[in-house]
C-alpha cells in the first residue's frame, strides 16, 4: 500500500528542492565546479507514442515547439478523479527520461528547474558530498573543501560512475524486494489477490498486487479463450473476436499459481474479465468446455495451464 502523503511531507519536499537549487546557484556564483542532478526532455519517439495514446482518450498533445513540463502537468490535472487517471499517470511517467548526475548542466525537466544539485541532509550519495565540499571551498569554511585541482573532466568521470552505481543499486534493491516477496507468498499459492496491470507486452500482462506491491506475470497464452493482440499505442491486450480489453492500470483479480523465491518471480492466473466496448460486447466468444487438452478452467471460464513451468522475466 502507498503511504499517505501529508501536507507536512510536501512542505519538507519543497524545502529540500529549494535547498538543492540554492546550493547549485551558490557554487555557480563562486565559480566552483559541481555535479548536477539533471533530467533531460523525453525523446521524440516516446513523445509521439504518448501523443498517439492520448488520442485514444480524446486528449491532445500539441505538436511542434519546445516541450514543457507544464504540458504534462496539464494532462495529469485534466484526468484527475477520472477513470483513466491511473492509466494516464503510468503512461506519462514511462514517457520521461531517467534522471542522472552530470558535470554539465542541462536542467531538470521533471521539476522544471534550470539548475539542481543534490545537497540535502543526510548525505546519501557521493554527489551530495561533492556539493558539500564545494560549499566548504566557496565559503572558505575550513578544511575538507573541494580541491582546486578538481576540474570538469574529472567530475564528468565521477558523474558517469555514480550514475551507473545508482542504477545498479536500484536494480539490486528491486531484485531483493522481489525475492523477499516471492518467499513470503510461496505458501499462498492458490490464493486470490486484487491488483492492477502494471505492464503490457506481447508476451502477456504484468500485475502489481495492491496489498503487498508484489509483481507477477500472466502469460498471454493463458488469457481468455481467444487470441489477444497487443496494441502498443493503447497499452492494451485486446481479444481479436470479442474486443475484451486488458489495459495498463486496469484493476484485476488474480490467483497465484507459482512462486519462485530464488528468481523473485510470481506467475498469476487472471480471474477477472476485461472491459468491453459497446460494439463488440455482444460478440463475446463462448467458453471452451472444461478439461480440453489437459487444461482446466479458471474463474469466468478462462482456460489455464497450471502445470506450465516456464517462467517469464519480470518487466522492467
At 169, is the secondary structure helix, strand, or coil? helix
Residue 63 has a pLDDT of: 79
Closest of 126, 152, 148, 127 to residue 137, by C-alpha: 148
Q: What is the DSSP letter of 286?
A: P
- Other residues' Cβ atoms within 10 Å of the Cβ of residue 31: 7
Residue 298 has a pLDDT of: 42
C-alpha cell at 257: 499459481
Residue 300 has a pLDDT of: 46
Phi, psi of 161 (to 5 degrees): -65, -45
Q: Where do the structural domains in the chain lie, given as residue ranges?
A: 7-171, 189-304
Asked whether the CA dihedral 52, 58, 63, 66 is positive or negative, the reply is negative
Task: List, run by run, the mean pLDDT of 10-residue segments along the chain (316 residues).
Answer: 81 93 96 94 89 85 78 89 85 91 94 91 79 93 89 92 94 95 96 94 94 94 92 91 91 96 96 75 45 40 40 40
Overall size of the chain counted in residues: 316
Residue 1 has a pLDDT of: 54
Q: What is the DSSP letter of 278?
A: T
Laid out side by side, the sheet with 236-239 consists of 228-231, 236-239, 245-247
Q: How many CA atoms lie within 13 A of 141 on its CB side?
A: 11
Identify any residues that bridge with 268 across adjacent strands, giving them in sequence order.
256
Question: What proportions of the chain, in percent to the nearest 5, are helix, strand and coil?
Answer: 40, 20, 40
Element (H, E) at 268: strand 265-270
CATH class, 189-304 region: mainly beta
Residue 51 has a pLDDT of: 87
Residue 291 has a pLDDT of: 37
| Chain position carrying cell 506475470 | 217
Residues in contact with 164: Cβ distance below 8 Å, sequence separation at least 6, in sequence order: none
At 228, is the secondary structure helix, strand, or coil? strand
At 201, is the secondary structure helix, strand, or coil? strand
Amino acid at each position: 500500500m502507498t503511504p499517505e502523503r501529508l501536507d507536512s511531507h510536501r512542505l519538507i519536499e519543497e524545502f529540500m528542492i529549494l535547498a538543492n537549487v540554492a546550493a547549485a546557484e551558490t557554487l555557480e556564483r563562486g565559480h566552483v565546479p559541481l555535479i548536477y542532478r539533471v533530467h533531460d526532455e523525453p525523446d521524440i519517439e516516446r513523445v509521439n507514442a504518448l501523443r498517439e495514446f492520448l488520442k485514444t482518450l480524446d486528449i491532445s498533445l500539441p505538436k511542434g515547439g519546445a516541450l514543457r513540463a507544464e504540458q504534462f502537468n496539464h494532462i495529469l490535472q485534466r484526468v484527475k478523479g477520472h477513470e483513466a487517471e491511473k492509466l494516464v499517470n503510468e503512461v506519462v511517467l514511462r514517457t520521461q527520461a531517467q534522471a542522472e548526475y552530470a558535470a554539465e548542466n542541462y536542467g531538470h525537466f521533471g521539476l522544471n528547474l534550470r539548475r539542481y544539485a543534490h545537497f540535502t541532509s543526510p548525505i546519501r550519495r557521493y554527489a551530495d558530498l561533492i556539493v558539500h565540499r564545494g560549499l566548504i571551498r566557496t565559503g572558505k569554511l575550513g578544511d575538507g573543501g573541494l580541491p582546486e585541482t578538481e576540474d570538469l573532466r574529472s567530475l564528468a568521470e565521477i558523474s558517469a560512475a555514480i550514475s551507473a552505481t545508482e542504477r545498479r543499486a536500484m536494480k539490486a534493491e528491486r531484485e531483493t524486494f522481489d525475492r523477499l516477496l516471492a518467499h513470503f507468498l510461496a505458501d499462498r499459492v492458490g490464493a486470490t489477490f486484487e491488483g492492477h496491470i502494471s505492464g503490457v507486452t506481447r508476451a502477456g500482462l504484468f500485475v502489481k498486487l495492491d496489498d503487498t506491491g508484489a509483481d507477477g506475470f500472466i502469460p498471454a497464452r493463458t488469457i481468455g479463450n481467444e487470441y489477444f493482440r497487443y496494441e502498443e499505442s493503447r497499452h492494451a491486450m485486446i481479444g481479436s473476436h470479442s474486443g475484451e480489453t486488458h489495459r495498463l492500470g486496469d484493476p484485476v483479480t488474480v490467483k497465484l499459481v507459482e512462486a519462485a523465491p530464488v528468481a523473485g518471480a510470481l506467475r498469476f492466473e487472471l480471474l477477472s474479465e476485461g472491459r468491453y466496448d459497446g460494439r463488440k460486447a455482444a460478440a463475446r466468444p463462448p467458453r471452451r468446455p472444461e478439461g480440453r487438452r489437459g487444461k482446466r478452467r479458471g474463474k469466468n471460464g478462462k482456460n489455464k495451464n497450471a502445470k506450465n513451468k516456464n517462467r517469464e522475466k519480470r518487466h522492467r
